[in-house]
Structure 1
Amino acid sequence: MAQTIKQLREDLFSETNGNKFDKIKNKLIKGFSADSRREVIEIFIEYSKSGRLLHWRNFLLTDIIALVKENETAYSIFFQWTITKPELTYWGIDGLLKTQGEEAYETLSNLVLNKTLEVETRAKAMKSIAVHSKQPFDRNLPKDPGYWKIENLRIEELIHWQNQGYNQGNSYKAPNIHPNLKNPKTELEKAVYKLNDLLEKERKNNQDLSNPSNWLAIADESKIIEIEKKWNLPENYLLFLKNFSPINVFIDDDEKFFQGLSLYGADDLIKNQNGYSFNPVTGENLQEWPSNYIVIADAGADPYCIDIGNITNNDAPVYSSFHGAGEWEFEEYSKSFIDFLKDITE
Protein backbone atom coordinates (compact mmCIF):
# COMPACT_ATOMS: atom_id res chain seq x y z
CA MET A 1 0.00 0.00 0.00
CA ALA A 2 1.41 3.37 -1.06
CA GLN A 3 2.34 5.75 1.74
CA THR A 4 0.74 9.18 1.94
CA ILE A 5 2.72 12.38 2.01
CA LYS A 6 1.75 12.80 5.67
CA GLN A 7 3.09 9.34 6.56
CA LEU A 8 6.35 9.99 4.74
CA ARG A 9 6.74 13.31 6.54
CA GLU A 10 6.36 11.55 9.90
CA ASP A 11 8.89 8.90 8.84
CA LEU A 12 11.32 11.60 7.73
CA PHE A 13 11.24 13.42 11.06
CA SER A 14 11.50 10.26 13.15
CA GLU A 15 14.27 8.55 11.15
CA THR A 16 17.76 8.47 12.70
CA ASN A 17 19.54 6.44 10.02
CA GLY A 18 20.99 8.58 7.24
CA ASN A 19 20.60 5.98 4.47
CA LYS A 20 16.96 5.32 5.34
CA PHE A 21 16.37 9.07 5.57
CA ASP A 22 17.70 9.46 2.03
CA LYS A 23 15.28 6.82 0.72
CA ILE A 24 12.30 8.49 2.43
CA LYS A 25 13.35 11.86 1.06
CA ASN A 26 13.56 10.44 -2.46
CA LYS A 27 10.11 8.85 -2.12
CA LEU A 28 8.68 12.27 -1.30
CA ILE A 29 10.35 13.82 -4.35
CA LYS A 30 9.49 11.06 -6.82
CA GLY A 31 6.00 10.40 -5.52
CA PHE A 32 4.69 13.86 -4.72
CA SER A 33 6.82 16.68 -6.16
CA ALA A 34 4.87 16.70 -9.43
CA ASP A 35 1.42 17.25 -7.89
CA SER A 36 2.29 18.49 -4.39
CA ARG A 37 5.56 20.35 -5.02
CA ARG A 38 4.96 23.13 -2.52
CA GLU A 39 3.97 20.73 0.23
CA VAL A 40 7.16 18.73 -0.31
CA ILE A 41 9.20 21.95 -0.25
CA GLU A 42 7.58 23.01 3.04
CA ILE A 43 8.39 19.63 4.58
CA PHE A 44 12.03 19.97 3.58
CA ILE A 45 12.17 23.57 4.80
CA GLU A 46 10.74 22.53 8.14
CA TYR A 47 13.34 19.78 8.44
CA SER A 48 16.17 22.15 7.52
CA LYS A 49 15.11 24.30 10.47
CA SER A 50 14.48 21.67 13.11
CA GLY A 51 15.29 18.14 11.90
CA ARG A 52 17.27 15.82 14.14
CA LEU A 53 19.91 14.75 11.54
CA LEU A 54 22.02 17.91 11.44
CA HIS A 55 23.97 17.07 8.30
CA TRP A 56 20.73 16.44 6.42
CA ARG A 57 19.51 19.93 7.29
CA ASN A 58 22.29 21.13 5.00
CA PHE A 59 22.00 18.45 2.31
CA LEU A 60 18.26 19.06 1.89
CA LEU A 61 18.96 22.56 0.60
CA THR A 62 20.06 21.19 -2.77
CA ASP A 63 16.73 19.37 -3.10
CA ILE A 64 14.79 22.46 -2.06
CA ILE A 65 16.67 24.57 -4.61
CA ALA A 66 15.95 21.99 -7.33
CA LEU A 67 12.22 22.03 -6.52
CA VAL A 68 11.90 25.81 -6.24
CA LYS A 69 11.28 27.70 -9.49
CA GLU A 70 13.26 30.67 -10.79
CA ASN A 71 12.25 33.95 -9.10
CA GLU A 72 9.77 32.15 -6.82
CA THR A 73 10.02 34.89 -4.23
CA ALA A 74 7.77 33.14 -1.72
CA TYR A 75 10.82 31.16 -0.63
CA SER A 76 13.35 33.99 -0.56
CA ILE A 77 12.66 34.62 3.16
CA PHE A 78 13.74 31.06 3.92
CA PHE A 79 16.97 31.44 1.95
CA GLN A 80 17.64 34.81 3.58
CA TRP A 81 17.46 32.93 6.86
CA THR A 82 19.81 30.15 5.67
CA ILE A 83 22.65 32.53 4.87
CA THR A 84 22.58 33.72 8.50
CA LYS A 85 23.27 30.16 9.67
CA PRO A 86 26.93 29.12 9.20
CA GLU A 87 26.00 25.48 8.67
CA LEU A 88 23.54 26.39 5.90
CA THR A 89 25.09 29.44 4.25
CA TYR A 90 27.09 27.63 1.55
CA TRP A 91 24.09 26.12 -0.26
CA GLY A 92 21.67 28.82 0.81
CA ILE A 93 23.57 31.19 -1.50
CA ASP A 94 22.26 29.48 -4.63
CA GLY A 95 18.74 29.38 -3.21
CA LEU A 96 18.77 33.12 -2.60
CA LEU A 97 19.98 33.77 -6.15
CA LYS A 98 17.32 31.49 -7.62
CA THR A 99 14.48 33.14 -5.73
CA GLN A 100 15.67 36.76 -5.78
CA GLY A 101 17.80 36.97 -8.90
CA GLU A 102 19.69 40.25 -9.23
CA GLU A 103 18.10 41.48 -6.00
CA ALA A 104 20.40 39.06 -4.15
CA TYR A 105 23.62 40.61 -5.49
CA GLU A 106 24.06 43.11 -2.67
CA THR A 107 23.50 40.54 0.06
CA LEU A 108 25.85 38.02 -1.53
CA SER A 109 28.51 40.64 -2.27
CA ASN A 110 28.51 41.46 1.43
CA LEU A 111 29.16 37.78 2.15
CA VAL A 112 32.24 37.92 -0.09
CA LEU A 113 33.48 41.00 1.74
CA ASN A 114 32.81 39.54 5.21
CA LYS A 115 36.25 38.60 6.55
CA THR A 116 34.75 36.70 9.48
CA LEU A 117 33.38 34.00 7.18
CA GLU A 118 35.27 30.94 6.00
CA VAL A 119 37.12 31.40 2.69
CA GLU A 120 35.07 28.55 1.22
CA THR A 121 31.82 30.40 1.92
CA ARG A 122 33.10 33.71 0.56
CA ALA A 123 34.39 31.94 -2.54
CA LYS A 124 31.05 30.18 -3.05
CA ALA A 125 29.27 33.53 -2.93
CA MET A 126 31.66 35.03 -5.50
CA LYS A 127 31.43 31.99 -7.79
CA SER A 128 27.62 32.00 -7.70
CA ILE A 129 27.52 35.75 -8.36
CA ALA A 130 29.90 35.29 -11.31
CA VAL A 131 27.78 32.54 -12.88
CA HIS A 132 24.51 34.43 -12.43
CA SER A 133 25.78 37.88 -13.44
CA LYS A 134 28.11 36.61 -16.20
CA GLN A 135 30.93 38.65 -14.68
CA PRO A 136 34.42 37.03 -14.90
CA PHE A 137 35.19 36.97 -11.17
CA ASP A 138 35.84 33.21 -11.51
CA ARG A 139 38.09 33.23 -14.57
CA ASN A 140 40.85 30.63 -14.66
CA LEU A 141 39.86 29.33 -11.23
CA PRO A 142 38.70 25.81 -10.26
CA LYS A 143 35.05 25.14 -10.97
CA ASP A 144 34.60 24.12 -7.33
CA PRO A 145 35.09 27.24 -5.14
CA GLY A 146 36.01 24.94 -2.29
CA TYR A 147 39.48 24.84 -3.88
CA TRP A 148 39.87 28.63 -4.05
CA LYS A 149 42.33 30.46 -1.83
CA ILE A 150 41.87 33.86 -0.21
CA GLU A 151 44.07 35.49 -2.85
CA ASN A 152 41.71 34.18 -5.55
CA LEU A 153 38.92 36.46 -4.36
CA ARG A 154 38.88 39.42 -6.74
CA ILE A 155 37.69 41.89 -4.11
CA GLU A 156 38.63 45.09 -5.97
CA GLU A 157 36.77 43.94 -9.08
CA LEU A 158 33.73 43.05 -6.98
CA ILE A 159 33.69 46.47 -5.29
CA HIS A 160 34.05 48.20 -8.67
CA TRP A 161 31.13 46.13 -9.97
CA GLN A 162 29.08 47.17 -6.94
CA ASN A 163 29.84 50.83 -7.56
CA GLN A 164 28.80 50.44 -11.20
CA GLY A 165 25.37 49.16 -10.16
CA TYR A 166 25.72 45.38 -10.51
CA ASN A 167 25.61 45.36 -14.31
CA GLN A 168 25.38 42.10 -16.25
CA GLY A 169 28.51 40.85 -18.02
CA ASN A 170 29.10 39.12 -21.33
CA SER A 171 29.93 35.69 -19.95
CA TYR A 172 32.66 33.53 -21.53
CA LYS A 173 33.18 32.46 -25.10
CA ALA A 174 33.53 28.79 -25.94
CA PRO A 175 37.01 27.67 -27.06
CA ASN A 176 37.85 28.17 -30.74
CA ILE A 177 37.33 24.87 -32.56
CA HIS A 178 38.64 23.77 -35.96
CA PRO A 179 35.96 23.51 -38.72
CA ASN A 180 37.04 19.96 -39.56
CA LEU A 181 35.95 18.88 -36.09
CA LYS A 182 32.40 18.91 -37.46
CA ASN A 183 33.32 17.96 -41.03
CA PRO A 184 36.00 15.22 -40.82
CA LYS A 185 37.82 14.11 -43.93
CA THR A 186 41.00 12.26 -42.93
CA GLU A 187 41.32 9.14 -40.79
CA LEU A 188 42.70 11.27 -37.95
CA GLU A 189 39.81 13.71 -38.16
CA LYS A 190 37.26 10.90 -38.18
CA ALA A 191 38.77 9.47 -35.00
CA VAL A 192 38.77 12.93 -33.42
CA TYR A 193 35.16 13.43 -34.50
CA LYS A 194 34.09 10.36 -32.50
CA LEU A 195 36.10 11.54 -29.51
CA ASN A 196 34.47 14.97 -29.68
CA ASP A 197 31.03 13.34 -29.84
CA LEU A 198 31.83 11.59 -26.57
CA LEU A 199 33.11 14.81 -24.98
CA GLU A 200 30.16 16.83 -26.22
CA LYS A 201 27.82 14.72 -24.10
CA GLU A 202 29.96 15.49 -21.05
CA ARG A 203 29.95 19.21 -21.88
CA LYS A 204 26.18 19.28 -22.07
CA ASN A 205 25.89 17.66 -18.65
CA ASN A 206 28.53 19.70 -16.87
CA GLN A 207 30.28 22.75 -18.30
CA ASP A 208 31.69 25.92 -16.81
CA LEU A 209 33.30 28.14 -19.44
CA SER A 210 35.25 30.09 -16.82
CA ASN A 211 37.42 26.97 -16.74
CA PRO A 212 36.35 24.90 -19.76
CA SER A 213 36.69 21.13 -19.75
CA ASN A 214 36.39 18.34 -22.30
CA TRP A 215 37.04 20.53 -25.35
CA LEU A 216 39.17 19.91 -28.43
CA ALA A 217 40.31 23.33 -29.61
CA ILE A 218 42.79 25.09 -31.86
CA ALA A 219 46.03 25.43 -29.91
CA ASP A 220 47.94 28.60 -29.16
CA GLU A 221 50.60 28.89 -31.87
CA SER A 222 53.31 29.78 -29.35
CA LYS A 223 52.70 26.51 -27.51
CA ILE A 224 53.06 24.52 -30.72
CA ILE A 225 56.34 26.30 -31.55
CA GLU A 226 57.64 25.47 -28.07
CA ILE A 227 56.69 21.81 -28.53
CA GLU A 228 58.26 21.60 -32.02
CA LYS A 229 61.53 22.99 -30.67
CA LYS A 230 61.62 20.28 -28.05
CA TRP A 231 60.54 17.18 -30.00
CA ASN A 232 60.15 15.82 -33.51
CA LEU A 233 56.61 14.49 -33.24
CA PRO A 234 54.78 12.29 -35.76
CA GLU A 235 52.62 14.37 -38.08
CA ASN A 236 49.31 12.85 -36.97
CA TYR A 237 49.94 13.66 -33.33
CA LEU A 238 51.27 17.15 -34.12
CA LEU A 239 48.16 17.90 -36.23
CA PHE A 240 46.04 16.67 -33.34
CA LEU A 241 47.75 19.09 -30.97
CA LYS A 242 47.51 21.98 -33.43
CA ASN A 243 43.88 21.60 -34.49
CA PHE A 244 42.21 19.55 -31.76
CA SER A 245 44.22 20.25 -28.65
CA PRO A 246 42.55 18.80 -25.52
CA ILE A 247 41.47 21.27 -22.85
CA ASN A 248 41.01 19.52 -19.50
CA VAL A 249 39.88 16.36 -21.27
CA PHE A 250 39.03 13.50 -18.93
CA ILE A 251 37.66 10.18 -20.15
CA ASP A 252 35.57 8.79 -17.29
CA ASP A 253 36.00 5.10 -18.01
CA ASP A 254 37.62 3.34 -15.07
CA GLU A 255 36.90 -0.10 -16.56
CA LYS A 256 39.31 0.61 -19.40
CA PHE A 257 41.57 3.17 -17.70
CA PHE A 258 42.53 3.17 -14.03
CA GLN A 259 40.71 6.13 -12.44
CA GLY A 260 39.82 7.44 -15.91
CA LEU A 261 42.11 8.95 -18.54
CA SER A 262 43.49 12.50 -18.67
CA LEU A 263 44.42 13.40 -22.27
CA TYR A 264 47.04 16.15 -22.56
CA GLY A 265 46.82 19.20 -24.80
CA ALA A 266 49.39 21.64 -26.16
CA ASP A 267 49.13 23.84 -23.05
CA ASP A 268 50.17 21.10 -20.65
CA LEU A 269 52.13 18.54 -22.68
CA ILE A 270 55.60 19.77 -21.69
CA LYS A 271 54.89 20.38 -18.01
CA ASN A 272 53.18 16.99 -17.67
CA GLN A 273 56.46 15.23 -18.45
CA ASN A 274 57.44 16.18 -14.90
CA GLY A 275 57.84 13.13 -12.72
CA TYR A 276 58.26 10.85 -15.73
CA SER A 277 61.21 11.97 -17.86
CA PHE A 278 62.06 15.08 -15.85
CA ASN A 279 62.61 15.87 -12.18
CA PRO A 280 61.09 19.34 -11.55
CA VAL A 281 62.86 19.64 -8.18
CA THR A 282 66.43 19.01 -9.34
CA GLY A 283 65.88 20.15 -12.94
CA GLU A 284 67.45 16.93 -14.23
CA ASN A 285 66.35 14.44 -16.86
CA LEU A 286 65.62 11.04 -15.36
CA GLN A 287 68.03 8.51 -16.80
CA GLU A 288 65.73 5.51 -16.34
CA TRP A 289 63.11 7.05 -18.64
CA PRO A 290 63.33 6.21 -22.38
CA SER A 291 64.18 9.50 -24.09
CA ASN A 292 61.99 8.70 -27.09
CA TYR A 293 58.82 8.27 -24.98
CA ILE A 294 56.57 11.34 -24.65
CA VAL A 295 53.72 11.04 -22.15
CA ILE A 296 50.52 12.10 -23.91
CA ALA A 297 48.01 10.94 -21.29
CA ASP A 298 47.77 9.28 -17.91
CA ALA A 299 45.32 7.12 -16.04
CA GLY A 300 45.76 7.69 -12.32
CA ALA A 301 49.45 8.57 -13.03
CA ASP A 302 49.94 5.44 -15.19
CA PRO A 303 51.56 6.94 -18.32
CA TYR A 304 50.55 6.49 -21.96
CA CYS A 305 53.46 7.44 -24.21
CA ILE A 306 53.97 7.98 -27.91
CA ASP A 307 57.26 6.56 -29.20
CA ILE A 308 58.85 9.30 -31.31
CA GLY A 309 61.76 7.00 -32.06
CA ASN A 310 59.51 4.72 -34.08
CA ILE A 311 57.68 7.03 -36.52
CA THR A 312 56.23 5.40 -39.63
CA ASN A 313 53.52 6.64 -42.00
CA ASN A 314 53.23 9.91 -40.05
CA ASP A 315 52.30 8.08 -36.86
CA ALA A 316 53.85 6.15 -33.98
CA PRO A 317 52.85 3.44 -31.48
CA VAL A 318 51.62 4.20 -27.98
CA TYR A 319 53.01 2.39 -24.93
CA SER A 320 51.75 2.22 -21.36
CA SER A 321 53.13 1.24 -17.98
CA PHE A 322 52.17 1.12 -14.31
CA HIS A 323 53.68 3.66 -11.95
CA GLY A 324 55.04 2.85 -8.50
CA ALA A 325 56.40 -0.58 -9.45
CA GLY A 326 60.06 0.39 -8.99
CA GLU A 327 61.00 0.06 -12.66
CA TRP A 328 59.10 1.08 -15.76
CA GLU A 329 57.86 -1.92 -17.73
CA PHE A 330 56.28 -0.69 -20.94
CA GLU A 331 53.87 -2.62 -23.12
CA GLU A 332 52.51 -1.63 -26.51
CA TYR A 333 48.99 -0.30 -26.05
CA SER A 334 48.19 0.58 -29.68
CA LYS A 335 49.92 0.41 -33.04
CA SER A 336 49.42 4.12 -33.67
CA PHE A 337 48.13 7.33 -32.14
CA ILE A 338 45.04 7.11 -34.34
CA ASP A 339 44.34 3.63 -32.97
CA PHE A 340 44.78 5.05 -29.47
CA LEU A 341 42.07 7.65 -30.19
CA LYS A 342 39.79 4.99 -31.61
CA ASP A 343 40.27 2.84 -28.51
CA ILE A 344 39.21 5.72 -26.26
CA THR A 345 35.83 5.99 -27.96
CA GLU A 346 35.02 2.30 -28.27
Structure 2
Amino acid sequence: MNLETAILEIKKFWNTDEKFPFGESKKQNHIERLENEFGVAIPDSLKEYIANFTPLNDFYFTTVGNPMCVYGVDNLKFKQDGYNFNSVKNTKIDDWSEGFFIFADEGADPVVIDLNHPENGVQKLMHGAGSWDYDETIADSIGQFLLCSAALHHALTDFEEESIVDDENGFNLSENAAKWYFKNMKNWAGNYYSEWCSIFDNH
Protein backbone atom coordinates (compact mmCIF):
# COMPACT_ATOMS: atom_id res chain seq x y z
CA MET A 1 0.00 0.00 0.00
CA ASN A 2 1.48 3.34 -1.00
CA LEU A 3 1.57 6.29 1.35
CA GLU A 4 -0.87 8.51 -0.50
CA THR A 5 -3.52 5.77 -0.55
CA ALA A 6 -2.97 5.06 3.14
CA ILE A 7 -3.28 8.71 4.16
CA LEU A 8 -6.48 9.15 2.13
CA GLU A 9 -7.95 6.07 3.84
CA ILE A 10 -6.99 7.35 7.29
CA LYS A 11 -8.61 10.72 6.66
CA LYS A 12 -11.94 8.96 6.03
CA PHE A 13 -12.16 7.92 9.69
CA TRP A 14 -9.76 10.20 11.57
CA ASN A 15 -11.38 12.30 14.29
CA THR A 16 -11.43 15.84 12.93
CA ASP A 17 -10.83 17.19 16.47
CA GLU A 18 -7.36 15.62 16.37
CA LYS A 19 -4.68 17.07 14.15
CA PHE A 20 -3.26 14.51 11.72
CA PRO A 21 0.30 15.72 11.03
CA PHE A 22 1.40 13.42 8.22
CA GLY A 23 1.89 15.26 4.95
CA GLU A 24 2.04 18.74 6.49
CA SER A 25 5.05 20.02 4.58
CA LYS A 26 7.88 19.09 2.22
CA LYS A 27 11.16 17.96 3.80
CA GLN A 28 13.27 17.02 0.78
CA ASN A 29 16.47 18.43 2.29
CA HIS A 30 16.59 15.72 4.96
CA ILE A 31 17.11 12.93 2.44
CA GLU A 32 20.63 14.01 1.54
CA ARG A 33 21.48 14.43 5.23
CA LEU A 34 20.28 10.92 6.07
CA GLU A 35 22.01 9.29 3.10
CA ASN A 36 25.24 10.92 4.23
CA GLU A 37 24.74 9.73 7.81
CA PHE A 38 23.91 6.13 6.85
CA GLY A 39 26.33 5.96 3.94
CA VAL A 40 23.84 4.16 1.70
CA ALA A 41 21.12 5.09 -0.75
CA ILE A 42 17.67 5.31 0.83
CA PRO A 43 14.95 3.29 -0.97
CA ASP A 44 12.49 5.34 -3.01
CA SER A 45 9.50 4.44 -0.82
CA LEU A 46 11.33 5.67 2.28
CA LYS A 47 12.46 8.81 0.44
CA GLU A 48 8.81 9.57 -0.30
CA TYR A 49 7.91 9.18 3.36
CA ILE A 50 10.77 11.38 4.56
CA ALA A 51 10.16 14.12 2.00
CA ASN A 52 6.37 14.26 2.00
CA PHE A 53 4.81 12.55 4.99
CA THR A 54 7.11 12.58 8.04
CA PRO A 55 5.59 14.69 10.84
CA LEU A 56 7.52 17.78 11.91
CA ASN A 57 7.39 16.63 15.55
CA ASP A 58 7.01 13.27 17.27
CA PHE A 59 3.45 11.99 17.01
CA TYR A 60 1.82 9.41 19.26
CA PHE A 61 -0.75 6.79 18.30
CA THR A 62 -2.66 5.18 21.16
CA THR A 63 -2.10 1.45 21.60
CA VAL A 64 -3.10 -1.07 24.27
CA GLY A 65 0.18 -0.50 26.11
CA ASN A 66 2.87 2.09 25.47
CA PRO A 67 1.93 4.59 22.76
CA MET A 68 3.45 4.21 19.31
CA CYS A 69 5.76 7.20 18.85
CA VAL A 70 6.32 8.09 15.19
CA TYR A 71 9.45 10.24 15.03
CA GLY A 72 9.42 13.81 13.85
CA VAL A 73 11.82 14.56 11.00
CA ASP A 74 14.65 15.86 13.21
CA ASN A 75 14.65 12.58 15.15
CA LEU A 76 15.27 10.60 11.98
CA LYS A 77 19.01 10.07 12.23
CA PHE A 78 21.75 7.47 12.17
CA LYS A 79 22.96 7.89 15.76
CA GLN A 80 20.19 6.65 18.05
CA ASP A 81 20.91 6.70 21.77
CA GLY A 82 20.32 3.35 23.44
CA TYR A 83 20.21 1.47 20.16
CA ASN A 84 23.49 2.01 18.31
CA PHE A 85 25.06 4.60 20.63
CA ASN A 86 25.68 4.81 24.39
CA SER A 87 25.60 8.52 25.27
CA VAL A 88 26.80 7.90 28.84
CA LYS A 89 29.99 6.17 27.70
CA ASN A 90 30.07 8.02 24.36
CA THR A 91 30.61 4.70 22.60
CA LYS A 92 29.11 2.76 19.74
CA ILE A 93 26.86 -0.22 20.55
CA ASP A 94 28.12 -3.06 18.39
CA ASP A 95 25.16 -5.46 18.21
CA TRP A 96 23.02 -3.03 16.22
CA SER A 97 22.77 -3.42 12.44
CA GLU A 98 23.96 -0.22 10.80
CA GLY A 99 21.25 -0.64 8.16
CA PHE A 100 18.39 -0.29 10.67
CA PHE A 101 16.53 2.97 10.05
CA ILE A 102 14.37 3.74 13.09
CA PHE A 103 11.32 5.87 12.40
CA ALA A 104 9.13 4.93 15.37
CA ASP A 105 9.15 3.07 18.65
CA GLU A 106 6.65 1.54 21.03
CA GLY A 107 7.92 1.67 24.60
CA ALA A 108 11.53 1.62 23.31
CA ASP A 109 10.81 -1.32 20.99
CA PRO A 110 12.16 0.20 17.77
CA VAL A 111 10.22 0.13 14.50
CA VAL A 112 12.64 -0.03 11.59
CA ILE A 113 13.21 -0.35 7.89
CA ASP A 114 16.36 -2.35 7.14
CA LEU A 115 18.12 -0.29 4.48
CA ASN A 116 20.12 -3.37 3.50
CA HIS A 117 16.95 -5.44 3.06
CA PRO A 118 14.00 -3.07 2.47
CA GLU A 119 12.03 -5.99 1.02
CA ASN A 120 11.61 -7.19 4.63
CA GLY A 121 9.08 -4.41 5.21
CA VAL A 122 8.44 -2.69 8.52
CA GLN A 123 9.86 -4.60 11.47
CA LYS A 124 9.38 -4.14 15.21
CA LEU A 125 12.34 -5.25 17.29
CA MET A 126 12.20 -6.27 20.94
CA HIS A 127 14.19 -4.06 23.30
CA GLY A 128 15.86 -5.75 26.25
CA ALA A 129 15.81 -9.26 24.81
CA GLY A 130 19.59 -9.45 24.77
CA SER A 131 19.66 -9.53 20.99
CA TRP A 132 18.01 -7.64 18.16
CA ASP A 133 17.27 -10.95 16.44
CA TYR A 134 13.86 -11.00 18.12
CA ASP A 135 11.74 -9.19 15.58
CA GLU A 136 8.43 -9.38 13.79
CA THR A 137 7.35 -7.90 10.48
CA ILE A 138 4.22 -5.83 11.12
CA ALA A 139 3.62 -4.26 7.68
CA ASP A 140 4.81 -4.45 4.10
CA SER A 141 5.22 -0.70 3.87
CA ILE A 142 5.18 2.48 5.94
CA GLY A 143 1.81 3.30 4.39
CA GLN A 144 0.32 0.06 5.71
CA PHE A 145 2.00 0.63 9.09
CA LEU A 146 0.49 4.13 9.41
CA LEU A 147 -2.97 2.94 8.38
CA CYS A 148 -2.96 0.07 10.88
CA SER A 149 -1.60 2.31 13.65
CA ALA A 150 -4.23 4.95 12.96
CA ALA A 151 -6.97 2.30 12.90
CA LEU A 152 -5.96 0.92 16.30
CA HIS A 153 -5.80 4.47 17.69
CA HIS A 154 -9.29 5.17 16.32
CA ALA A 155 -10.71 1.95 17.78
CA LEU A 156 -9.29 2.74 21.22
CA THR A 157 -10.28 6.42 21.36
CA ASP A 158 -13.38 7.13 19.26
CA PHE A 159 -16.02 4.55 20.14
CA GLU A 160 -17.16 3.47 23.62
CA GLU A 161 -16.01 5.38 26.69
CA GLU A 162 -14.33 2.18 27.88
CA SER A 163 -12.58 0.82 24.82
CA ILE A 164 -11.43 -2.44 26.44
CA VAL A 165 -13.49 -4.91 28.48
CA ASP A 166 -11.29 -7.12 30.63
CA ASP A 167 -13.45 -9.60 32.55
CA GLU A 168 -14.32 -13.30 32.81
CA ASN A 169 -14.95 -13.32 29.06
CA GLY A 170 -11.37 -12.33 28.29
CA PHE A 171 -9.49 -9.25 27.15
CA ASN A 172 -11.81 -7.78 24.54
CA LEU A 173 -12.14 -4.70 22.42
CA SER A 174 -15.49 -3.03 23.15
CA GLU A 175 -18.42 -4.00 20.93
CA ASN A 176 -18.74 -1.09 18.49
CA ALA A 177 -15.00 -0.60 18.19
CA ALA A 178 -14.55 -4.32 17.57
CA LYS A 179 -17.14 -4.39 14.77
CA TRP A 180 -15.33 -1.57 12.98
CA TYR A 181 -11.72 -2.52 13.72
CA PHE A 182 -11.58 -6.25 13.03
CA LYS A 183 -13.59 -6.01 9.80
CA ASN A 184 -11.36 -3.28 8.38
CA MET A 185 -8.11 -4.79 9.61
CA LYS A 186 -8.77 -8.01 7.70
CA ASN A 187 -8.44 -5.84 4.62
CA TRP A 188 -5.85 -3.29 5.74
CA ALA A 189 -3.47 -5.51 7.74
CA GLY A 190 -3.71 -8.50 5.40
CA ASN A 191 -1.02 -11.04 6.31
CA TYR A 192 -0.25 -9.08 9.49
CA TYR A 193 -3.76 -9.25 10.93
CA SER A 194 -2.58 -11.36 13.86
CA GLU A 195 0.17 -8.89 14.79
CA TRP A 196 -2.39 -6.08 15.06
CA CYS A 197 -5.42 -7.93 16.44
CA SER A 198 -4.47 -11.06 18.39
CA ILE A 199 -4.00 -9.17 21.66
CA PHE A 200 -7.80 -9.04 21.82
CA ASP A 201 -9.61 -12.29 22.60
CA ASN A 202 -12.64 -11.32 20.51
CA HIS A 203 -10.76 -10.81 17.25
TM-score tier after normalising by the smaller chain length: 0.5 to 0.7
Q: Which has the larger Rg?
A: 1
Distance 1:200 1:281 in 2: 42
Task: Give the alignment of 1:1-346 within 5 angstroms.
Answer: 187-195=2-10, 198=14, 200-203=16-19, 214-231=21-38, 232-255=41-64, 258-270=65-77, 273-312=80-119, 317-328=121-132, 329-346=134-151
Determine the C-alpha separation between the residues in 1 that align with 2:16 and 2:146: 16
Deviations 1:38-62 (A, max 9, x none): xxxxxxxxxxxxxxxxxxxxxxxxx
Identical aligned pairs, as a percentage? 28
CA contact (8 A) 1:194 1:345 kept: no
For 1:318 and 1:252, how far apart are their aligned partners in 2?
16
Cα deviation, residue 219, structure 1: 4.2
Does structure 2 conserve the Cα–Cα contact (< 8 Å) formed by 1:318 and 1:334? Answer: yes
Q: TM-score, normalised by structure 2?
A: 0.60
The alignment partner of 2:66 has SS state of coil
CA shift for structure 1 position 287: 0.9
Unaligned runs of 5+ in 1: 1-185, 204-212
CA distance in 1, matches of 2:110, 2:137: 12
DSSP 3-state at the match of 2:138: strand
The alpha carbon displacement at 1:296 in A equals: 1.0
Q: Say if 1:332 and 1:215 are closer, same or farther in 2 by CA, change over 3 A.
A: closer
Alpha carbons 2:113, 2:123 under 8 Å: kept: yes
Bigger strand fraction:
2
Contact 1:217 1:244 in 2 (8 A): yes
* 1:199–1:215 Cα contact (<8 Å) kept: no
RMSD of equivalent CA atoms = 2.7
| Residues 284/272 of structure 1: CA separation in 2 closer, same or farther (3 Å cut) | closer
Q: Could you state the TM-score of these two structures normalised by the residue count of structure 1?
A: 0.38
1:152-210 CA-partner distances (Å, limit 9, x unpaired): xxxxxxxxxxxxxxxxxxxxxxxxxxxxxxxxxx932111334456375412xxxxxxx
Kept in 2: contact 1:251–1:261 (CA 8 A): yes
Count of aligned positions: 147
2:197 corresponds in structure 1 to: none
* Contact 1:216–1:247 (CA under 8 A) maintained in structure 2: no
CA 331–280 in structure 1, closer or farther in 2 if over 3 Å, else same: same
Distance in 1 of aligned mates of 2:105 and 2:16: 21
Instruction: Tell me how far apart the structure 1 counterparts of residues 96 and 53 of structure 2 sit (CA, whole Å).
Output: 28
Q: Please state how far the C-alpha of 1:243 moved relative to its aligned partner.
A: 1.1
For the residue of structure 2 that corresponds to 1:216, the secondary structure is: coil
Instruction: Note the C-alpha offset of 1:240.
Output: 1.0
Separation (CA, whole Å) in 2 of partners of 1:251 and 1:193:
19
Gaps of 5+ in 2: 152-203
Higher normalized helix content (fraction of residues): 1
Q: Give the Cα–Cα distance (whole angstroms) in 1 for the partners of residues 140 and 28 of structure 2.
A: 29
